[in-house]
Amino acid sequence: MQIYKLEQRIISILRDSGKPMRLQEISRRLRILPKTKEYSYLLKAIENLITSNIIVKSTRRRYHLQEYLHDALITGILKIEHGKGLVYSDEFEKPITIKRKNLFTAFNGDKVLVKLLGTKDKGNQYGEVIEIVNRAEHKFIGTIEEDAGLYFVVPSDEKYYVDFVVPPRKLKKAKNGSRVVAQLIEWENPSKSPIAEVVQILGRAGDIATEAERIIYEFNLPIEFPDKVQKEAASIPENIPKSEIKRRRDLRDKLIFTIDPIDAKDFDDAVSLERLPNGNYLLGVHIADVSYYVQPRTELDKEAFRRGTSVYLVDQVIPMLPEKLSNELCSLKPNRVRLAYSVFMEFDTHLNRIGYEIVESVIKSKKRLNYDWVYEFLKSGRKPQNEIEEKLLEMNEFAQQLRKKRFTQGGIEFETVEVRFVLDEQKNPISAYLKESTVATQLIEEFMLAANRTVAEHIEYLKRKHKLKVELPFIYRIHEEPNLEKIKGVVNFFKMLSINAKNLTSAKAINKFLKQFEGRPEKPIVHQLLIRAMQKAIYSSENIGHYGLGFRFYTHFTSPIRRYPDLVVHRLLKLYANGIPNEDELTRLSKIVDIASDQSSEREIVAMEAERESVKLMLTILANENIGKDFTGTISGVTNFGLFVVLDSIYTEGLIPIRDLLDDYYIYDEKNIRLVGKRKGKVYKFGDRVATRIVEVDVEKRKVWLKLVEYLS
């Protein structure tokens, strides 16, 4: 019997009892008989706990927890962040910090009992784990390594801070260098290694297919749809009933078309634009009516809720809905009759929306266009050859007017630059390029924003129309005002770099500030720094507006194929179109909306992190294929251990270690965030241009090391 395990059980018994206990009572609770080998272990465990000042033996030969421990024992969930533990408990606002040596045998996600050890600066408490109350399931990605006949799995995730022993019988044919999914079997003694078993072999560490598969397991992304979901999807008829077409607004003769990325497979939004006799514009946004096919509480709905969103990795898409729906029945393919949910918005000559309609419709898209072709056409200046090209010119002019008005009324003109890749047949990256905002993407963006805003404002209209005293259950897309401390930190950072950034507390000031970086290499990094200082947009049943867009009311309505909130929004709109439900039904809907909002926000974060890691992997692989080659780049970060540089043309970020800056002894100026040469006074700071050489790449850890070749500016 493990002494450590006994100690934990004794602590639990005394804590749960809440009163002193005799040795016989403790042994009886543990089912340990006197004069046995286990009884000697029990005596040793009690002696250890007394020596550690955790329990006390009273004069009446009873044992109890130290008096101060009754208030100093806290139960909470452990999170491992940046090499240390943080225990979050309902009893404290701030987490309790646990040093590595005081983690006992706890891992990230475990419910633990913590003994408080003291308080540091600013009231931050620290402690040590003395018991694992409830062990979470621990499956993780790692690499098998052999040492003197023993096999270990070295975790890829830094949250698992030790190597695990794998008994030979638990290897499942994994070999030295294999990338595997492993699972914790047990860990009772912190002075020994934890024991794990191999659950699945992914492949050879470093291979692109293996590393891509690793991301899927790291984020627990669901690849296959359960059989019952596939069967339900397969049972959906492909033909639309005539009765369903008859009851909808028939738009099949209208000039409606889609504009999407060139490699898109699902088309969930189409657009139209008409000039009315009174000179006003009638903008139509037509969205795939997924809610017709995916009914509440069906297997399809449950799976869509669980996934929350489609995940767009570099080498594959993990869809929210099965292919029959996402790529076929719900996809607005050209010359196919499709069910849609349409929003018609009338704008006057001053771009004020003066009316709108939200209707169930049936459409037939006339053309599938892609952003690249539309951009080239709009930029070419050539005369239109057909009615679609004529309409594109009209749409572009209208969209740019909408965009200009939005920014003057409070929207922030952030530009998020996405790295995209050209892949070969084996899905290896050949090259990288930047996907930037163009007039083509802006056209669709403005039309979708208008539709989403209109739908959200429609809910407020219904509330006023029916004189409701309660909110109508709905999912909003909200964005809080930025944290002033974070904004202040970014402003101070820019000031250190001699960048004029006076007051960035308003959208107008931020837009003015961003304009000075047009055409400069540090533009994307500056935009990214400010975006990070902003709050994250989330889904919520409580509307507080969208700061970044400058909208009082906003939702997501336009992508129900790939986002669950949009599907719920469609259902709610249809429900309210038939009348406002009674109070009991509204209460039930509120609960559904709350749960869906929280789940969708959580799944969106997982998807974004997985997509970010997928891009980072491909960038690392590109760097690995260019070891020894020189690239110019921009310094994106300065630390006490070196310079981070984003390379031109392949867009990988790498590190120049401070130890490799050989022309001087460099000191990190923390106040001004720069490196300064002690003898020559040479300065390296954010935004400087340098020439570098790729010298080392670790694909597994997704890290790149560079050598400075020349300082350029």
Residue-wise DSSP of 303-358: HHHHH-B-EE-SS-EE-SS-HIIIIIITS--BT-EEEEEEEEEEE-TT--EEEEEE
pLDDT greater than 70 at residue 63: yes
Q: Residue 495 region, left (φ>0) first, then alpha (ψ -120 to 50), else beta?
A: alpha
CA 481 to chain centre: 20
What is residue 487's predicted lDDT score, i.e. its pLDDT?
A: 74
What is residue 75's predicted lDDT score, i.e. its pLDDT?
A: 84
Tell me what the mean pLDDT of segment 412-418 comes to: 79
pLDDT greater than 80 at residue 339: yes
Spell out the CATH class of 69-134: mainly beta
Range with the poorest average pLDDT among 130-134, 348-352, 501-505? 501-505
Angstrom distance (rounded) from CA 25 to CA 18: 13
Which tokens in the block code for residue 518?
């047009």
The CATH fold assigned to 3-65 is: Arc Repressor Mutant, subunit A (1.10.10)
Range with the poorest average pLDDT among 84-93, 247-256, 650-659? 84-93
Tell me what the mean pLDDT of segment 104-122 comes to: 85
Q: What are the tens digits of pLDDT across the range 507-527?
A: 777 777 777 777 776 677 777
Q: What CATH number was assigned to the domain covering residues 626-711? A: 2.40.50.140
Angstrom distance (rounded) from CA 112 to CA 131: 6
Tell me what the mean pLDDT of segment 208-216 comes to: 89
What is residue 505's predicted lDDT score, i.e. its pLDDT?
A: 67
What is residue 603's predicted lDDT score, i.e. its pLDDT?
A: 97
What is residue 136's predicted lDDT score, i.e. its pLDDT?
A: 92
Tell me if 481 sits within 8 A of 318, measured CB to CB: no
Tell me what the mean pLDDT of segment 103-116 comes to: 90
Which tokens in the block code for residue 422?
């050209």
Tell me what the mean pLDDT of segment 33-38 comes to: 86
Range with the poorest average pLDDT among 110-114, 316-320, 520-524? 520-524
pLDDT greater than 80 at residue 357: yes
- What torsion do the CA atoms of 377, 383, 386, 392 make, to the nearest 10 degrees? 50
Q: What are the tens digits of pLDDT across the range 631-689?
A: 999 998 899 999 999 999 999 999 999 999 999 999 998 878 889 999 999 999 988 99
For residue 514, report the phi and psi dihedrals to the nearest 5 degrees: -65, -30
Range with the poorest average pLDDT among 117-126, 446-455, 540-549, 640-649? 117-126
Q: Please provide the average confidence, as pLDDT, over all residues in the chain.
A: 91
Q: What are the tens digits of pLDDT across the range 149-202?
A: 899 999 988 899 999 999 999 999 999 999 999 999 999 888 899 999 999 999
Model pTM score: 0.82
What is residue 290's predicted lDDT score, i.e. its pLDDT?
A: 98
All CATH 2.40.50.690 domain ranges in the chain, comma separated: 69-134
Q: What are the tens digits of pLDDT across the range 559-607?
A: 999 999 999 999 999 999 999 999 999 999 999 999 999 999 999 999 9
CA angle 491, 494, 497 (to 5 degrees): 155
pLDDT greater than 90 at residue 15: no
What is residue 529's predicted lDDT score, i.e. its pLDDT?
A: 76
pLDDT greater than 60 at residue 1: no
pLDDT greater than 70 at residue 500: no
Residue 410 DSSP class: T
What is residue 502's predicted lDDT score, i.e. its pLDDT?
A: 67
How many angstroms separate the Cα of 525 from the Cα of each of 494, 633, 645? 12, 12, 11
pLDDT greater than 60 at residue 69: no
pLDDT greater than 90 at residue 54: no
Closest CA to 645 of 708, 597, 696: 708
All CATH 1.10.10 domain ranges in the chain, comma separated: 3-65
All CATH 2.40.50.700 domain ranges in the chain, comma separated: 139-205
Residue 136: CB atoms within 10 A of its CB come to 15
Q: How many CA atoms lie within 13 A of 444 on its CB side?
A: 23
Q: Which CATH number fits domain 139-205: 2.30.110.10, 2.40.50.700, 1.10.3720.10, 4.10.95.10?
A: 2.40.50.700
